[in-house]
Amino acid sequence: RHKQLPFSAVLMDTWYAAKDLMLFIDSMDNIYYCPLKSNRQVDDSNGELSYKRVDSSDWNAQELEHGKQIKIKGFPKEHKVRLFRVETSTSRTDWVVTNDPTQDSTQGTRKVCAFRWNIEQLHREGKQLTGLENCQCRKARIRRDHIGAAFLVCGFLKTPALLIPRTLYRLKYRLFDEYLSAPDQKSFYQVPFCVSPDNVRVPVMPEFVLFRGKYRHRGFWNGQIDPQKR
């Protein structure tokens, strides 16, 4: 909040389902989607019965499709959330709560929660493919620039990986196959690309070219900078 970052929704994991955090997001008039642990105490009887585990709640056909309103133990009396029973696999069920008043579909909740996995995947690929964790600088500004550059590389690799299709891991490790097999690598001038199964060349980073073993921006060949002087 102190960084003035614009956002309207927060997708959280089970470990972040804390009362203070959820109430803080609600106080900013933002919405959240958060799965609860199976032993979390909730009340779905509007105060008529005592609290019970969320995984022991009774569900009818309408509630399975549209969710139901509950109160989580320890929260203010007026803070009610909507609970959805989302089956992510045959052996796993998530109990997702949200303060979104417009959400009344279990299928819609499943689609919203699916976005969180893309964020997890981005961080995993950034750590394993771009050296996200290998920055040894001490200044915060340099570390932020390093993180931004790492995610930028992930974005450049993701586009051709979806077009080929091919995984980011295979795309990265075969990115310079043609360059390494060239007879004269020093004079090799080539836009980085990958080859699809149909022998179609897909450029990976069209803004950059490989000239004499180093990356050069296309601005060098637009008359702005002479590559011979670099």
Which pLDDT belongs to residue 42? 94
Among 116, 138, 168, the domain boundary falls at 116
**Maximum Cα interatomic distance, the chain, rounded to a whole number of Å:** 81
Please state the rounded mean pLDDT for residues 59-69: 93
Q: Give first-to-last CA distance, the chain, whole Å.
A: 44
14 plus 59 within the same structural domain: yes
* Listed residue (64, 82, 62) closest to 72, CA to CA: 82
Residue 125 inside a domain? The answer is no
Strand bridging mode 208-211 / 92-98: unpaired
Which pLDDT belongs to residue 211? 47
Which pLDDT belongs to residue 201? 57
71 neighbors 43 (Cβ within 8 angstroms): yes
Q: Which amino acid is at 109?
A: T
100 plus 135 within the same structural domain: no
Look at 221 and 181; give whichever has higher pLDDT.
Answer: 181
95 plus 138 within the same structural domain: no
Look at 185 and 67; give whichever has higher pLDDT.
Answer: 67
145 plus 202 within the same structural domain: yes
pLDDT at residue 10 above 50? Answer: yes
176-197 tens-digit pLDDT: 666 666 655 554 445 455 555 5
CA 37 to chain centre: 22
Among 91, 116, 141, the domain boundary falls at 116
Which two tokens mark 121?
């995947």
Quickly tell me which residue has 């927060």 as its tokens: 10
* 2 phi/psi in degrees, rounded to 5: -70, -15
Domain of 210, in residue numbers: 130-229
Count CB neighbours of 133 within 10 A: 11
What span, in angstroms and rounded, lies between the C-alpha atoms of 5 and 1?
Answer: 6
pTM for the model: 0.65
Residue 110 inside a domain? The answer is yes
Total count of domains within the chain:
2
Q: What's the residue count for the chain? A: 230
